[in-house]
Amino acid sequence: MHKVVVMGVAGCGKSLVGARLAQSLQCRMIEGDHFHPKENVLKMRSGISLDDQDREPWLARLGAMMASSSGNVVMSCSALKRSYRERLRSFVPPLKFVYLEIDLATAAQRVGTRFEHLFPKSLVASQFATLESPVEEAGVLPTSALLPPEAQVEAVMRWLETPTLES
């Protein structure tokens, strides 16, 4: 059974890669952004960064959803800080993370082309300021967000098929 969070800053492709991964695994995809409390959505749309207190109920809700899902499940969630990832792991101890690495300029460019999205381009830099790289954590696969989504999903599928997930 695989429970996987596709994570990274806004504009890295979490939703797209997560959806395609869920399709490959033939499982449920949880779009993390759909479960933000209304107050969080209003703050972000107003160009105000979320803080740890804002994120706590959101992370708790996402963690509970992952824990209650039977079988494979994929979720998109920024999971920017180690403490956020630990919070999610507290619900699902063998939780795996796919970290989509991207540079600030590319992320800002991608976010700038999205319309009707809750996250404005003006907040991209704040995500990089908050980001604590998970590269050295167990159960994390880093991959370049600049690769085609199909290549990213193929890399994740190979990783999930390996007997040990220490990289």
Each residue's pLDDT tens digit, 125-153: 999 999 999 999 999 999 999 999 999 99
> For residue 167, what pLDDT band results from cuts at 50, 70 and 90?
very low
Query: Tokens 């804002």, residue?
Result: 54
Query: Could you say which DSSP state residue 26 is in?
Result: T
| pTM, to two decimals | 0.92
pLDDT tens track for 76-97: 999 999 999 999 999 998 899 9
Task: State CA 117 to chain mean position distance.
Answer: 16
Please, are residues 32 and 76 in contact by the beta-carbon 8 Å criterion?
A: yes
Q: What is the CATH number of domain 3-161?
A: 3.40.50.300
